Amino acid sequence: METTVLFCLVIGLLFLGVPVAISLGLASVLVIALLSSDSMSSVALQLFTASQNYTLLAIPFFILASAFMSTGGVAKRIIHFAIASIGHLRGGLAMASVLACMMFAALSGSSPATVVAIGTIAIAGMRQVGYTKEFAAGIIANAGTLGILIPPSIVMVVYAAATNVSVGRMFLAGIIPGLLAGLMLMGAIYIQARRKNLPAEEWKGFGEVIAGGKQAAFGLLLIVIILGGIYGGAFTPTEAAAVAAVYSCLVALFIYRDMGPMKGNPWTLPTDKSRAIIGFKAYAYALSFLFVWFMLAFFFERSFGTGFAESRAVIGLLIGAFILVAYSAWRAGGGITAVPGTLIAGLPIWGRNLKLMGRNLLGAFVHDETRKVMVDASKTTVMLMFIIVNALLFAHVLTSERIPDAITSVMLDYGFNWWTFLIAVNVLLLIGGQFMEPSGLLLIVAPVVFPIAMELGIDPIHLGIIMVVNMEIGMITPPIGLNLFVTSGITGMSLVKVVKAAMPFVGVLFIFLIIVTYVPVLSTWIPTALMGPEIVTR
């Protein structure tokens, strides 16, 4: 009886338009108060325990990092790099938009943020070279879903918190499926491009690819910091999220300068002499190399010991000095004798920029644009955490009433095996994804299906990826597909037109879902190889 009342209350409140968080929390409290033998004090205890979950601390930091990366010019630089890399293929601009979404997804961990950041630039660019608005909108709506599949992913953190599995393994498990999904979307675009004779960009050579890579380097370096730090043993996923937030803030405010008090102040000015610019760039390349070198040395210090780190430091300094001298001699001309003068000429540019950053150091963190980013990230965090805390209270009621155990017994009695069970999970999530926000739906379904999956011998990491892919599809299926609303907002198209534009590519994601569901090695190979299998304690 408790099971029926609980689910009827949740579904009834949702259909009445009550927010997801309140529906879950209110239904749980009513069942505990009126029907359960559990004490009402457990409500306060569970809410406190849920809010103290260390894993969940990663969510506000990833949201903040995503906000700084979305506000800054990272997306514009990533799109430039993607176009330079594959834009020369038939339909290359559309495929470059998918590649840009994949790269930005590895920075943001959020699907709507990926759609907004990449879509506002990529859709306009595709329209200028002859793509239809509908085709461009359909591509971005679907490619944006990769934001929750390619690590780091906020939804993966939510699943890990709900089921007590490893966040690090979940991030590793998303690498191959994320790349496969992106390649499948690009393959579908290429087929359409050959049929419709879509335009291709001019190939500008590897020099343009290198130039685009240099522009996007500081943004893409965040991927190395997050994943390298986690799997190099330097910090936990939660600590990685905090590092990502700080790094994103510094890049947006002080390096790219796309926001804050130094906005519009480039590192070099048109009045700077070419020799001074060469000297400045020589220092910049040498320092950038040393930053990456010492960062990687720190990541691997635990694996190879202190002696390894010291020898690596000496090698890094020697290579950095070589880069400094070689670049100056190559670009300035005149051989090795021109190096001292070139390096001295670059110092005033560094001095000017360091003074500028010193004057604006404190002001950058309290600037109007910075405060707006912080407030927007806080609003998103409060909304999501309120859903999570109430959903974990709902999960507590499920556990205390032994509802998952009862459902498991029923399914096993009816002869369900892992193959048919996963069909049922996919159908449930595909239907639910049309009406609910991904994190809320996942927090409702995961505590119910997780014990059943463990009983049937399904890998918990594999189950997590299946659920994340279902959440992807839910974000582009009406009536509550979040990516559809975001795409409609940035394009000015009606929701019906966006749905029609997205549907052809949704079919690609359905095929991808089937592959991921029944080829578990795609999800489990990397995490098992690097970290071993996930151990679940019943």
Q: How far apart are CA 137 and CA 426, in angstroms?
A: 26
**Residue 533, pLDDT score:** 76
DSSP for 149-208 reads TSSS-HHHHHHHHHHT--HHHHHHHTHHHHHHHHHHHHHHHHHHHHHHT---PPP--HHH
Report how far residue 417's alpha carbon sits from residue 199's, in angstroms, rounded to the nearest whole number.
49
pLDDT at position 53: 72
469 belongs to a structural domain: no
pLDDT for residue 72: 59
Dihedral sign (CA 134, 138, 139, 144): positive
Q: Does 280 map to a domain?
A: yes
pTM, whole model, 2 decimals? 0.85
- Give residue 479's pLDDT: 72
CA 373-228-309 angle, to 5 degrees, is 120
Rounded to 5°, the CA angle 381-240-438 comes to 40
Interhelix angle 368-400/403-413, rounded to 10 degrees, is 60
Domain assignment present for residue 446? The answer is: no
pLDDT at site 113: 84
The pLDDT value recorded for residue 238 is 85
Q: How many CB atoms lie within 10 A of CB 362?
A: 10
Q: Is 421 left (phi over 0), alpha (psi -120 to 50) or beta?
A: alpha
Residue 359 lies in a domain: yes
Provide the residue range defining the domain that includes 279.
268-363
pLDDT of residue 535: 67
Nearest to 213 by CA among 285, 143, 149: 285
Asked if residue 317 is part of any domain, the answer here is: yes
Structure-token pair, residue 49: 């325990």
Residue 523 maps to a domain: no
Determine contact, residues 295/228, Cβ cutoff 8 Å. Answer: yes
Mark the ranges of the chain whose per-residue pLDDT is less than 70.
1, 50-51, 72, 300-310, 404-405, 534-538
Buried b (16+ CB within 10 A) or exposed e, 157-173: bbbbbbbebbbbbbbbb
Domain count, the chain: 1
* Phi and psi at residue 380, to the nearest 5°: -65, -40
pLDDT for residue 212: 86
Cα 174 to Cα 525: distance, rounded to the nearest angstrom: 11
Tell me the C-alpha to C-alpha distance, in Å, between residue 68 and each of 73, 82, 92, 247.
9, 21, 28, 9
Question: Taking Cα atoms as reference points, which of 464, 449, 450 lies closest to residue 166?
Answer: 464
Decide if 96 contacts 86 (C-beta within 8 A).
yes
pLDDT of residue 309: 56
Establish if 40 belongs to a structural domain: no
Within 8 A by CB and 6+ apart from 394, the residues are 10, 24, 25, 27, 28, 443, 444, 447
The rounded distance, in Å, linking the Cα atoms of 55 and 166 is 9
Q: What is the DSSP string of 7-21?
A: HHHHHHHHHTT--HH
Q: Is 431 exposed, middle or buried (0-12, 13-18, 19+ CB in 10 A)?
A: middle
Calpha distance 273→279 (Å, rounded): 10
Determine the distance from the C-alpha atom of residue 502 to the mean position of all C-alpha atoms in its chain, rounded to a whole number.
21
Residue 315 within any structural domain of the chain: yes
